[in-house]
Every structure is written in structure tokens, then in C-alpha cells.
Structure 1
Amino acid sequence: MKVWDAMPRLEDVIRRNLENSSRGVILNIIVQPGSPTEGLVIEGNELVFQTVEPEGRGRENAALVRYLSKNLNIPVSKIDIVYGTRERYKRVLLMDINEERLITLLSRILAWPGEGR
């Protein structure tokens, strides 16, 4: 699939996984620990963060926050896991960013399964 052909679908998947709140934008993400690589991919209509960290002890949460901070240029202090700290399904609050800017940034870093990052 060519990048320009995938853009409307990509934005649709991102929008399905976003929610505005009074404190910022909430991003719904599934975390997949123990992956061979680290990054954010689309699987079906879900955003999935694949991390090399093993499951347990919160390392996958720290990896997710670090990844989002680095790739979205948001300070770690402005990222908060508001639901799912002990589950694979997470709701992550991103403060001081608007929905459209977040969609643009996520579109740049997301990969479809099987694509390189």
C-alpha cells in the first residue's frame, strides 16, 4: 500500500483511538510486550505499541511513555497513563497538544504490520 493511498485510512484509525478531554487528548493503545522491535503499529482498527520489554513490573508502561515522549516531542511529565497501568489496553493522556497536531505526528511514526519503521 502506498503511503498516500493509506493516509485517509491511517487518519481514520487514529481518530477512532483518540478522545478529547479537559486536560488534553486521550490515546487508546494496546501494549504488546516481548516484541522483537519497538514501535507503534496499526493492527485492524487498533493502535498497538510493540515493545521489547518483557511483560510485568511496569517496564512496558515506562517504555510506552518514553517512546511517545521521544517521538511526539512531548515531555514525559505531560504524559499520563490514566487507565490500564496493569493491563494491555491503556488510555494515555497527552497534555498540551491538540488533536490535529497529534494526528499529524502519529501519522509520521505509525507503521502497518510487516512494514519497517
Structure 2
Amino acid sequence: MSQAPQESQPGFQEPASVQYGCYPPQNPGIALSQTSMILGILSLFVVGVILGPIAILKANEAERNFGVQATVGKVTGLIGLIFGALQVLAIIGYFLLMLFLIPASIYGSNL
């Protein structure tokens, strides 16, 4: 009785490209698109005059250089920019109004 020689099976080896616990590399265009969206949403609530244009620039860069859609970043950045500009104009108007109304109410108008 002769036995057939058993073939030795090699041990299981993981492919070199699989790394557990790490995320796969992300497309830089997607990261720019997400950044523009976050900045656009923040510009609706905080300092829209500054964050709005930055969101629009990041969205344009994501679309131009990487071909990724970044419409949300553009729209929210534009709305935040408009709201921020209106807030700045309202603050300036308020101070100008107070500048001319308070002295007129204290000293009276001699026109």
C-alpha cells in the first residue's frame, strides 16, 4: 500500500495591499468638495463674509482640478456670503443711524 504524497499547502498569506484599521486613500477632489460644503454651511451662521468666498473657491478648485461636483459648497457659500454682506450693511446702517439720531435727540435739530 503506497500512499499518494500529500501536497503541502502553503499557509494563508494576506495580500500586501490590505491594511486593517486604515481607510483607503480618498480622492483629494472629494475632500475639497466636503470642505467647501462644511465651510458653506458654517458661513450661513458664522462670518459669512469670510467663509462664503472660501467655500466658493474650494468648490471651484474641486470642480476644475478634480472633476468632482461641489454644487452644495457653491450654493451655501453664496447664500452665506449674501447673508453676511447684509449683516455687515445692517450693522453699518445701525451705527450711522445712531450717530445721527442720538446727537439730534440730545441737542435738538436747529434746521
Does TM, scored on the shorter chain, surpass 0.5? no
Range of TM-score over shorter length: under 0.3
* TM-score, normalised with respect to structure 2: 0.22
- Bigger fraction of residues in helix: 2
Structure number with the higher strand fraction is: 1
Question: What TM-score results when the alignment is normalised by the length of structure 1?
Answer: 0.21
Higher RCO (C-alpha under 8 Å, 6+ residues apart): 1
